[in-house]
Structure 1
Amino acid sequence: AQRKHMKHSLVPDPPSDGCPWFYFEALQHLQTVRFALDEINKNDEILPNITLGFRAYDSCALLQYDLEGTLQMLTGLDRHIPNYRCLTDAPLSSIIGSAISAHSVVLASILGIYKFPQVSHHSTSAILSDHIRFPSFLRTVPSDVFQSKGLADLVVLLRWTWVGLVAADTDYGQLGVQIIQQEIVKAGACVAFNEKILTSYPDRNAPHIVKIIKTSTAKVVVLYATGYDLVYLLNEMAKQNVTGKTFVANAGWSTTTVISLDKFSTLLSGTIGLAIQSGTIPGLKQFLNTINPYMSLGGVWIKIFWELAFNCRFISDKNETGSLDTNLKECTGSENLESLQNTYNDVSQLRWTYSVYTVVLVLANALRDLNNCKKGEGPFSKRLCANIKGFKPWQLLYYMKSMRLRLNSGKEVFFDKNGDPPAVYDIVNWQLSPTGDMRFVKVGSYDTAAHPGNIFTINTICSQSCPPGFWKAARRGEPICCFQCVPCPQGEISNQTGNCIKCPWDMWPNPEKSSCLPKPIEYLSYEEPLGTTLACTSTISSLVPVIILKLFIQFKATPIVKANNYSLSCLLLLSLSFCFLCSLMFIGSPKHGICLLRQAAFGIVFSLSVACILAKTIMVVFAFMATKPDSNLKRCTSPWMSYMIISICLFLQFILCITWLSINPPFLEQNIETQPRLIILQCNEGSPTAFWCMLGYLGLLSTISFVVAFLARRLPDSFNEAKYITFSMLAFLSVWVSYIPASLSSQGRYTVAMEVFAILASSWAIVFCMFAPKCFIILFRPSMNSREYVMKKGQNMK
């Protein structure tokens, strides 16, 4: 913290290539510093006419960068020069940090030489309580010595007499577990085993440790480590199916967000431990949600957070997170933070963040006491006071050590001779909520400054009953009358004994999970709006080809109708009418006979339509080639050739459908796998391979028609309809190619609706592209429907 009259400054380096990770909690801590300073600067009763500022430095949790950043701040420049102080406009009051105990030890060794105040919000190592080695180190979190004694007392209080110990092989873990073991043995309990988490091993020696835990008769295990080291153990416990164990947690992981709580919920349910005391900061949540990536204050960090929180990226030469995924959406900067709920804006249980907030208040009140010193009544030599505009670090350190501050929670903050605050912890219990989420429930407190009889306060009242939809799960390591209410699994209800029973296959629990109700039956019904719309569309659409057919019969003697193969056009129009009508077989309650025939009928009718178009296309080519001298293809232009092409195409599809119906026919099915809450009444196609072969054959016919028509589109015939066939087949193929992914991604009645829509759309594509131009000429341009016009057009094309 720094008394300044200039803007806040942030230093996002030193690592030129950026930090390999980004923690939302760290950004929350930084914004909490801003929030606390804004509160202080707006309060004229604390430091009137003085503005507090700060300088932030990102160390990436690496010791060398922590050290470099500290020296840089002491120097006052963008580079560090040991033993030099170059910033003269405002004194640097103190250093906040580091969050890592081992780093704080190194920094405190240097800062102690200058008696420069250092306040940590997170470092809990007992080593830092040595005021001889670290005379200027203070902290707002208790020493691990108190935590270790508290965990031992908690074990004894709950009358656990046979426990196992597991701790990291660091100073933090080994010093802590050593005190726990001494206190447990002193109280008359016994230690079953004491294992080390080997942090230098890639697997942290997890297989060996978990094997010891699993085979031991001890039901209670104290885990003294950080959340990062425990992930390996918990994964191995899940792998080896460890059950029946109750875990005691230290503050390093008792409320951690590193561990996947959903993945290990069964394993960790019932865990009890100590956690840094929580507090509330009114107005903080609203303040946290006011940041944006274009702020000059910490904009680089906020952009990284923004990309991670909203799963997007800023378009620039190098996006902030370094992601190479080009499929991510672009960040706009206007995304709504309030719509998210993550560890950044979660203020439900502020522990380490509240400790950061406390640090800023401590520094501000120490500066206030320094500033309020009356002339001639100062605490220093000759009763002098320090000058707020140019005080020495050791002068502020004096006020910090002698300060007593009462927070809004009622807690009083002060420092003993070792720089430690009063040791107050929350006792938290890991419990599953009715929604299945893991919650850290405060069940008591541990306050070393309280009266000897009130050091421990813990709620030992056990559950009495569970609401409907929950079952009674015994709390490991507690009396049999103590249990927690766990939601029944999906598809089960709870009975009066507090156990869950599975509903029959055709029933599903009510919302309260107290009784089983018949599952709703789902299919594409005529009564629902979607089914009604599709049925009406199919019926009305089937009349359009009939109307066009009547028009063609009425004008069959005209040149345009003759030029477009009158008999094939009539056959095509009849088949298209049946194409529209066959979609009705897909709507309504499925029956066995309908399931058996509907796909085969669809395939044969559409094969007839596409075969007619293919015959038309080939006849256009034959008609042109037959006009050449000495051509042998004149006999191929007769009607029998068209009907032979149609018969062959139709016969192949017929054989395919008969084979399908004979070997593995479709059948009526009640599907309860896709959506367990429903019974989907559907037609199982029997053989998906046969269905896609049938559809693929239609695609083959339409592709051949498209290719031949495309190549023949510029043939100089008097009325060449190849270009209309080209467009119709292109539209037909587009519909069915789009149908494939849509069908595979839809479920239940929407799968059927997608096929009905594809049938209607592809049929309309053929009707419109093939017959709309002809009908327009017949009805609205009769002058073009004459032999003279057709002959003139043919001559122009030649």
Structure 2
Amino acid sequence: MGCSLPSEGITGHLSRPGDIVIGGTFMVHLERVYSDLSFTYKPPELQCQMFALQYYQSMRALIFAVEEINANPKLLPNITLGFQVIDSCNNLRPTAQGTLSMLSGGKEVIPNFHCRKEATLAGIIGDTGSTRSILMAHILGLYRYPQISYFATNPKLSDRNLFPSFFRTIPSDEYQMRGLAQLVRYFDWSWVGLLANDNDYGQYGLQMVKQEIMNGGACVAFTENILTARSNRNAPHLVRVIKESTAKVVVVITTDSDFLIVAEELLRQNVTDNIWVASEAWSTTDLLSSQRFKPILLGTIGFAIHRGQMPKFSRYLSSLRPTDYLYDWLMRELWELVFSCKWSSHENVTVDKACTGNEKLESILTEEDYRVSLNVYTAMYAIAWALQSLHNCTTGYGPFYGGGCANITSFHPWQLLHYIKNVNFKTEDGSPIFFDAKGNPPAVYDIVNWRQSRQGTLEQVTIGRYDLSAPNGKILNVDSADVIWINDAAECQPCSWDTWPNPQHTRCLPRPTEFLSYEEPLGYSLVVIAILSSLIPLVILGVFIRYNKTPIVRANNYSLSCLLLLSLFLCFLCSLGFIGYPQPEKCLLRQVAFGMVFALCISCVLAKTITVVIAFNATKPGSRLRKWTGVKVSYCLILFCVFIQLFLCIMWLIFSPPFHELDTDTKPEVIVVCCNEGSPTAFWCMLGYLGLLASISFIVAFLARRLPDSFNEAKLITFTMLAFLSVWVSFIPAYLSARGMYTVAMEVFAILSSSWAVVGCIFVPKCYIILFKPNRNSRELLMGKGRNQK
């Protein structure tokens, strides 16, 4: 008895001979007839149904590329390419059978034997799905036959240890799922559902997109699997979960044929208020583009294979006639489906509408259907250019042992693999094609939006692009103003000024208000700091009153120091006017109060500085400055400086006073409750005047910094004004760049910091000597004597 295995016929087998043969697997039929496998009788052969025009076009793209290459005298001259393609019928069994059949060289499956002597199998282009491609890659990898898939996106296929001979002309899901999560984040969707196939494509994609969405700060409402082994795909359960969930955005990682069954159930249960985010496997399908799916799928947004131009292929498809391709029995099935006709049988049975073969295909073709076809076309050319490189090899300079080359008529598959790894060419539209170390092409996707066409059907319009080779910040590029959502209608009304649309744009939500409140951590932290800080000047004032007879207090103008400490107390307290709900009265007075108390504070510092200079020069014999050393001059100077600020503030309040405002422009999603300063010019004039006083004080003190130690007040004031000016110079860019409540917080921080600069630089050194170094608080030391005392 001979050795044998049970065999079945290969479904959907098309072939043409050639010097070198290219294999291909295509899912021309999307469904299969489900049979009861009870094994009480011989299992029936696989029966395929639901012809898919889009994937038939993809199969035709391989045949078109083979014909185009054979007609090109510059590419593989004197070499004729042939092909052998099968219909995998969305099933693993015909995929495995077809792969083994192509390896065996004929229609029979003979494992480990190649029986075709007249032609070499260069490689196989396929398959459509990831699960079937993984099966093929395991088989082809054993023999190192090149495999280039045009639609398998599972990241697992990038593992070179498991799949050493696998390549693809579509990017890995590793990039797509990251992009889908970025799309969710781009539209600020924070509550989404996930739906995915229970196969390799769906499960790997599901885990990746779920993790990326959660990393982006969004939450996943539900995760459900489409059970591909069931004829109904578990659709009733899935639709029930979607209806009961509050999440209205659903990311769907599946194929068009599987989601078709779910969509039918969505229609049956009238689920029409969801936004669907589509993976590339169904985002541009024609199966779901009919008018009846418009209530549920209008507004769908998703990732799609990057579309290139194929004008020659379009003309090629339009010219197809069944009489010109008698070997293609699938074309006869296409004709019956597209033109609703029947081919007359040999018995001349009468039919309602007979197919003539002269019908025109261009009426049903759109370039949107060429996305997958372009990937097949590119894969075919990748093999062709690899064969050309192999053919052009010069002996002695080749890549193999001893500089050897391979023979184009009898090469080993692993030899062609070397050239495919290094292939680099450009498509007709100039896009570069190459494979990275994991067999992946450049990652570029189109972002499409489903809209109603003029014919009433659904069409996919490109509204953006996801290109990982673009600079940072431009990888995801979406024209959000061009997106059409399912709730868009003639009666759609814009939200009122105090509301904001929810992410689904189905209803308006109240806008939250934002201001620097006492309940905010930032708000109550600043309040505590301001109150505690205001006590410090009072404590220092108490120290000065207690030790008012000591030389260091008397030498530093006791009355001016007390007035300065009181003004500092008010400076710390005025910051409280910026915290809390901005009442109209508070808005009117808070900036004026700030300007006046700081004008008083800096005027006191200026008066102290000038008093130091006058006192030093008055000690010189014959000086006329003695009459200017009294306190009256200091108080007159303070009154004059404060009066100028008062005049500015009064003009501000009369002509353009600050007012309470509800700002809806700074942060569109919230209402910023704030105080509008009325006149920005008046505000900056008030602030600029304080800067002028501080600058004068700094200049005078700096020029007097080398006075004898008995008049060391000038040094302290120099450091004080330097710190004061640094704070407010830093405040200006921070204030202009801040938004919302942080604008107010920046001003409060500047008030507290500059007030602390005055307290710390002028009074802390004096208090240190008074309280902790009383031996230095002596007249002799201040007069320059006893400097060596400790």
- Please give the TM-score of this superposition, normalised by the length of structure 2: 0.55
3-state SS, counterpart of residue 315 of structure 1: coil
CA change 1:347–1:413 in 2 (3 A) is: same
- Runs of 5+ unmatched residues, structure 2: 1-14, 30-43, 506-790
Aligned to 1:384: 404
Alpha-carbon distance, 1:289 to partner: 2.5
User: What amino acid maps onto 1:331 in structure 2?
Assistant: C
CA change 1:244–1:106 in 2 (3 A) is: closer
1:316 aligned to 2:332? no
Alpha-carbon distance, 1:132 to partner: 0.7
CA distance in 2: counterparts of 1:430 and 1:137, whole angstroms? 33
3-state SS, counterpart of residue 420 of structure 2: helix
Aligned to 2:186: 157
1:332 aligned to which of 332, 344, 356: 356
Alpha-carbon distance, 1:308 to partner: 2.4
Aligned length: 470
Aligned to 2:216: 187
CA change 1:197–1:33 in 2 (3 A) is: closer
CA distance in 2: counterparts of 1:231 and 1:426, whole angstroms? 22
1:268 aligned to which of 294, 297, 301: 297
Write the mapping of 1:224-303 to structure 2, written as runs, cut at 5 A: 224-303=253-332
CA distance in 2: counterparts of 1:122 and 1:7, whole angstroms? 21
3-state SS, counterpart of residue 457 of structure 1: strand
CA distance in 1: counterparts of 2:351 and 2:49, whole angstroms? 22
Write the mapping of 1:439-518 to structure 2, written as runs, cut at 5 A: 439-462=459-482, 471=490
Aligned to 1:395: 415
Alpha-carbon distance, 1:38 to partner: 2.3
Alpha-carbon distance, 1:387 to partner: 1.3
Structure 1 residues 210-219 or 153-162, which shifts more? Answer: 210-219
Alpha-carbon distance, 1:11 to partner: 12
1:360 aligned to which of 369, 375, 380: 380
CA distance in 2: counterparts of 1:422 and 1:11, whole angstroms? 23
Question: Are 1:475 and 1:482, in contact at CA under 8 Å, matched by a contact in 2?
Answer: no
Alpha-carbon distance, 1:6 to partner: 9.5
Write the mapping of 1:714-793 to structure 2, written as runs, cut at 5 A: none
Alpha-carbon distance, 1:181 to partner: 1.2
CA distance in 1: counterparts of 2:301 and 2:502, whole angstroms? 18
Aligned to 1:341: 363
Write the mapping of 1:404-415 to structure 2, written as runs, cut at 5 A: 404-415=424-435
Deviations 1:133-165 (A, max 9, x none): 111111111112211111011101111112122
Deviations 1:223-273 (A, max 9, x none): 222222323333333333334321111112111122253112122111111
CA distance in 2: counterparts of 1:62 and 1:197, whole angstroms? 16
Deviations 1:545-572 (A, max 9, x none): xxxxxxxxxxxxxxxxxxxxxxxxxxxx
Question: Are 1:10 and 1:297, in contact at CA under 8 Å, matched by a contact in 2?
Answer: no
Deviations 1:313-353 (A, max 9, x none): 2233489xxxxx954333333x2224x633xx333442111
Question: Are 1:278 and 1:349, in contact at CA under 8 Å, matched by a contact in 2?
Answer: no
Aligned to 2:144: 115
Alpha-carbon distance, 1:296 to partner: 4.7
CA change 1:472–1:137 in 2 (3 A) is: farther
3-state SS, counterpart of residue 344 of structure 2: coil
CA change 1:355–1:472 in 2 (3 A) is: farther
Alpha-carbon distance, 1:283 to partner: 1.6
1:76 aligned to 2:76? no
Structure 1 residues 203-212 or 26-35, which shifts more? Answer: 203-212
Write the mapping of 1:126-165 to structure 2, written as runs, cut at 5 A: 126-165=155-194
CA change 1:79–1:363 in 2 (3 A) is: same
RMSD of the TM alignment (CA)?
A: 3.4
CA distance in 2: counterparts of 1:481 and 1:191, whole angstroms? 17
Question: Are 1:41 and 1:51, in contact at CA under 8 Å, matched by a contact in 2?
Answer: yes
Deviations 1:528-550 (A, max 9, x none): xxxxxxxxxxxxxxxxxxxxxxx
1:64 aligned to 2:88? no
Structure 1 residues 363-372 or 444-453, which shifts more? Answer: 444-453
Question: Are 1:449 and 1:455, in contact at CA under 8 Å, matched by a contact in 2?
Answer: yes
Alpha-carbon distance, 1:99 to partner: 1.7
CA distance in 1: counterparts of 2:373 and 2:347, whole angstroms? 31
CA distance in 2: counterparts of 1:11 and 1:127, whole angstroms? 20
3-state SS, counterpart of residue 367 of structure 2: coil
3-state SS, counterpart of residue 329 of structure 1: coil
Question: Are 2:253 and 2:279, in contact at CA under 8 Å, matched by a contact in 1?
Answer: yes
CA distance in 2: counterparts of 1:159 and 1:100, whole angstroms? 31
CA change 1:56–1:242 in 2 (3 A) is: closer
Structure 1 residues 179-188 or 232-241, which shifts more? Answer: 232-241
% of aligned pairs identical?
Answer: 42
3-state SS, counterpart of residue 151 of structure 2: coil
Question: Are 2:21 and 2:121, in contact at CA under 8 Å, matched by a contact in 1?
Answer: no
Deviations 1:65-118 (A, max 9, x none): 222222222222331222222222232111111222212212211111111111
CA distance in 2: counterparts of 1:285 and 1:408, whole angstroms? 14
3-state SS, counterpart of residue 156 of structure 1: helix
CA distance in 1: counterparts of 2:475 and 2:25, whole angstroms? 43
Alpha-carbon distance, 1:186 to partner: 0.9
Aligned to 1:640: none
CA change 1:48–1:3 in 2 (3 A) is: farther
Aligned to 1:4: 18
CA distance in 2: counterparts of 1:220 and 1:134, whole angstroms? 36
Question: Are 1:463 and 1:482, in contact at CA under 8 Å, matched by a contact in 2?
Answer: no
Aligned to 1:90: 119
Question: Are 1:428 and 1:443, in contact at CA under 8 Å, matched by a contact in 2?
Answer: yes
CA distance in 2: counterparts of 1:436 and 1:330, whole angstroms? 28
3-state SS, counterpart of residue 283 of structure 2: coil
Aligned to 1:218: 247
3-state SS, counterpart of residue 253 of structure 1: coil
CA distance in 2: counterparts of 1:34 and 1:300, whole angstroms? 14
Question: Are 2:25 and 2:125, in contact at CA under 8 Å, matched by a contact in 1?
Answer: no
CA change 1:259–1:318 in 2 (3 A) is: farther
Deviations 1:742-792 (A, max 9, x none): xxxxxxxxxxxxxxxxxxxxxxxxxxxxxxxxxxxxxxxxxxxxxxxxxxx
Alpha-carbon distance, 1:379 to partner: 0.8
Alpha-carbon distance, 1:364 to partner: 0.8
Alpha-carbon distance, 1:436 to partner: 3.0
Structure 1 residues 193-202 or 358-367, which shifts more? Answer: 193-202
Question: Are 2:202 and 2:253, in contact at CA under 8 Å, matched by a contact in 1?
Answer: yes
Alpha-carbon distance, 1:56 to partner: 2.2
CA distance in 2: counterparts of 1:318 and 1:199, whole angstroms? 40
CA change 1:244–1:130 in 2 (3 A) is: same
User: What amino acid maps onto 1:351 in structure 2?
Assistant: R
CA distance in 2: counterparts of 1:456 and 1:185, whole angstroms? 19
CA change 1:402–1:352 in 2 (3 A) is: same
CA change 1:295–1:58 in 2 (3 A) is: farther
Alpha-carbon distance, 1:220 to partner: 1.5
Deviations 1:423-466 (A, max 9, x none): 211100112235533221101111123222221111123589xx
Question: Are 2:24 and 2:85, in contact at CA under 8 Å, matched by a contact in 1?
Answer: yes
CA distance in 2: counterparts of 1:78 and 1:99, whole angstroms? 21
